[in-house]
């Protein structure tokens, strides 16, 4: 569903892509396709999408990635 979401998930483009996936899940056939592979497609999808779209998670992710790129130093 996503490539390197742990790196790009908090970026505007990544969040826009996740919002498009939510729209496809709610209005398209994504839920049905996931149901073929998951006993609980709602739990699997919402656990992923809701986590990435939660404002607190996005702030945490940006801070973690930022610290990785500065060698752990807070500048």
Q: What is the per-residue pLDDT across 25-40, written as a single tens digit (0 to 9) for each?
A: 999 999 999 999 999 9
* pTM metric for this prediction: 0.67
Answer for the pair 51, 57: CB distance below 8 angstroms, yes or no: yes
Among 60, 59, 34, CA closest to 47: 34
Gap between the Cα atoms of 10 and 2, Å rounded: 12
Most confidently predicted of 5-14, 34-43, 63-72: 34-43
Identify the pLDDT of residue 50: 93
């Amino acid at each position: 569903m996503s490539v390197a979401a742990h790196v790009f998930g908090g970026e505007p483009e990544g969040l826009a892509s996740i919002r498009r996936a939510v729209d496809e899940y709610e209005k398209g056939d994504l839920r049905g396709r996931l149901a073929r592979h998951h006993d609980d497609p709602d739990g699997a999808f919402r656990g992923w999408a809701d986590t990435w779209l939660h404002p607190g998670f996005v702030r945490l992710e940006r801070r973690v990635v930022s610290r990785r790129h500065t060698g752990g130093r807070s500048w």
